[in-house]
């Protein structure tokens, strides 16, 4: 709720411009591109029964206009190479079920800000010796996060027997005393998967309009990341653009625990259609490809910072805001709140990380032969960002600041090809590898089915909308 209030407050300052990121989390929530205000939002979440098999020639769907909680697609009606077989039972690892069956966890505690393992153990009456034994075998003992749950089990004579760390709704670790030594086991549960459909039209911002369509913040972020190599959500978004997607909803014990992966998505930007299908390879790695099998990923991210407002473009005749004289601006400035994460635009090697004159705290990354990216005015570096370090695309290398010659917190970003500065916003980005040949035929068949389902849902929503008028 606080994030929503902050978003509304920020919108007052930027009624016809783009949002400025506010923090590592709020950079997404507050920095979606804002377009000229519209009186209404066009977004749809209509309940539709899609019980037809995907390979059916019939594409019409039956619409229940009495429902409005989202479009539901039966799990068994869809198969893709990335399909997750619905399982309602638990998958256990390292014999965790046997460990937990014999244990009765009676004392439960929710981790709060500032809590440590020692503090929690002390609160439930355990000793520093107990803390030592648990921490010695459990590496995540020092990685407790607010909101996580921990619990304790005891023997019949009230002797400490086991410690359970519930990391999230699907994963927990149990540290149990067995034969005089503590052992760690992991328990994982696999949720049941159902598929949802949502669509909407851009009237104000991707974030606000996607929320109106019923999407969670995480799903909106994932959607934007899929198309982030082709669409600059700072520059390119226009009123009237539209989006639609099929995504997973996860259920545990009959209750929804949130959205999962997006499996098919479409974004129409200024009349151009972009489509993406998810594929999971034999190693469980999921990536997105065009319906033709080309990677949605490029060798470089279009923007190294999530949806920040461009405050100064590439301009060789720009008047410097601090020096107050004409000085070539060989990069793009992204205005964002101090501390906003900065991500490397591509895989590479850090060739410079330190103070660099007017650039202040600066990082330069070498991407193969002839390509470099530069990130300047940072408030601080990521502790792993050091000269010689290897970095992966999207990895956080530092945080927005105003070090060096800067009039306010922002990122100065440069893209160089063979020593020549290129406009980061307009430079043509090379593509990543297409889908592996051994998956290609199966992928193309599944992509066709997913797109048919997506299009069927789009038509069904139109029919539902028209019948309601």
Q: What percent of the chain has pLDDT over 90?
A: 43
Q: Is the model more confident about 227 or about 16?
A: 227
pTM of the model: 0.58
CATH topology match: 1-31+298-430 vs 90-189:
no
Average pLDDT over residues 341-368: 93
Structure tokens at 8: 């509304």
User: What whole-number distance in Å separates Cα of residue 312 and Cα of residue 321?
Assistant: 10
Q: 276-292, pLDDT tens digit by residue?
A: 999 998 888 899 999 99
Domains of the chain, by residue range, sit at 1-31+298-430, 41-83+192-296+447-467, 90-189
Q: Most distant CA pair in the chain: distance in Å?
A: 80
Q: Is 469 a residue whose pLDDT tops 90? A: no
- The CA-to-CA distance between both ends of the chain, in Å, stands at 33
User: What whole-number distance in Å separates Cα of residue 78 and Cα of residue 86?
Assistant: 11
Is the domain spanning 1-31+298-430 CATH 2.70.70.10? The answer is: yes
Cross-strand pairs, 272:
269
Structure tokens at 208: 């606000």
Q: Is 1 a residue whose pLDDT tops 50? A: no
User: What whole-number distance in Å separates Cα of residue 146 and Cα of residue 359?
Assistant: 36
Q: Is 415 exposed, middle or buried (0-12, 13-18, 19+ CB in 10 A)?
A: buried
State the pLDDT confidence band at 311, using cuts at 50, 70 and 90: low
User: What whole-number distance in Å separates Cα of residue 220 and Cα of residue 304?
Assistant: 18
Structure tokens at 180: 């005089």
Nearest to 454 by CA among 163, 41, 48, 15: 48
When the pLDDT of each residue in the chain is averaged and rounded to a whole number, the result is 77
User: What whole-number distance in Å separates Cα of residue 376 and Cα of residue 386?
Assistant: 15
- Architecture label for domain 41-83+192-296+447-467: Roll (3.10)
State the pLDDT confidence band at 49, using cuts at 50, 70 and 90: very low
Structure tokens at 284: 């469980």
Low-confidence winner among 99-103, 228-232, 261-265, 425-429 (lowest mean pLDDT): 99-103
Structure tokens at 359: 């650039």
Q: Is 377 left (phi over 0), alpha (psi -120 to 50) or beta?
A: left
State the pLDDT confidence band at 53, using cuts at 50, 70 and 90: very low
In the block, which residue shows the tokens 């893209």? 415
90-189: CATH number = 3.10.450.350
Q: Is the model more confident about 275 or about 15?
A: 275
Contacts of 319 (CB under 8 A, 6+ apart): 325, 326, 327
Structure tokens at 290: 């065009």
Q: How many CB atoms lie within 10 A of CB 21?
A: 31
Q: 125-180, pLDDT tens digit by residue?
A: 899 999 999 999 998 888 888 999 999 999 888 889 999 999 888 999 999 988 88
User: What whole-number distance in Å separates Cα of residue 319 and Cα of residue 453?
Assistant: 52
State the pLDDT confidence band at 328, using cuts at 50, 70 and 90: low
């Amino acid at each position: 709720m606080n994030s929503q209030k902050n978003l509304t407050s920020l919108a007052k300052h930027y009624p016809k411009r783009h949002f400025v990121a506010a923090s590592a989390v709020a950079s997404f929530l507050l920095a979606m591109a804002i377009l000229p205000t519209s009186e209404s939002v066009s977004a749809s979440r209509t309940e539709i029964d899609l019980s037809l098999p995907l390979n059916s020639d019939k594409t019409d769907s039956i619409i229940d206009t009495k429902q409005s909680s989202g479009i539901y697609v039966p799990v068994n009606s869809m198969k893709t190479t990335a399909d997750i077989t619905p399982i309602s039972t638990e998958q256990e690892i390292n014999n965790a079920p046997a460990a937990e069956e014999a244990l009765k966890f009676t004392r439960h505690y929710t981790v709060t800000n500032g809590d440590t393992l020692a503090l929690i153990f002390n609160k439930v009456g355990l000793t520093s010796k107990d803390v030592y034994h648990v921490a010695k075998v459990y590496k995540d003992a020092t990685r407790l996060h607010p909101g996580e749950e921990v619990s304790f089990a005891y023997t019949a004579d009230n002797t400490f027997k086991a410690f359970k760390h519930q990391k999230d709704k699907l994963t927990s670790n149990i540290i149990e005393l067995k034969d005089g030594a503590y052992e760690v086991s992991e328990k994982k549960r696999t949720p049941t998967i159902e598929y949802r459909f949502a669509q909407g039209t851009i009237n104000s911002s991707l974030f606000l309009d996607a929320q109106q369509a019923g999407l969670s913040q995480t799903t909106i972020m994932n959607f934007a990341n899929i198309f982030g190599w082709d669409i600059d959500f700072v520059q390119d978004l226009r009123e009237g653009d539209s989006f639609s997607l099929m995504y997973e909803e996860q259920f545990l014990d009959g209750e929804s625990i949130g959205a999962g992966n997006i499996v098919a998505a479409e974004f129409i930007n200024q009349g151009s259609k972009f489509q993406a299908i998810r594929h999971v390879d034999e190693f469980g790695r999921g990536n997105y490809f065009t319906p033709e099998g080309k990677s949605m990923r490029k060798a470089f991210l279009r923007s190294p910072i999530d949806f920040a407002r461009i405050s100064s473009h590439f301009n060789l005749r720009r008047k410097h805001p601090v020096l107050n004289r004409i000085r070539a601006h060989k990069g793009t400035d992204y205005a964002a709140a101090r501390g906003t994460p900065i991500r490397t635009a591509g895989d590479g090697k850090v060739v410079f990380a330190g103070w660099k004159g007017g650039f202040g705290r600066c990082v330069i990354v070498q991407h193969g032969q002839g390509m470099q990216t530069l990130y300047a005015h940072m408030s601080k570096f990521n502790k792993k960002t050091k000269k010689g370090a290897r970095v992966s695309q999207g990895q956080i290398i530092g945080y927005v600041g105003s070090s060096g010659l800067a009039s306010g917190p922002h990122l100065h970003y440069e893209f160089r090809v063979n020593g020549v500065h290129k406009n980061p916003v307009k430079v043509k980005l090379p593509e990543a590898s297409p889908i592996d040949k051994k998956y290609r035929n199966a992928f193309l068949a599944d992509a066709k089915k997913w797109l048919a389902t997506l299009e069927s849902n789009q038509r069904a929503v139109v029919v539902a909308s028209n019948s309601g008028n």
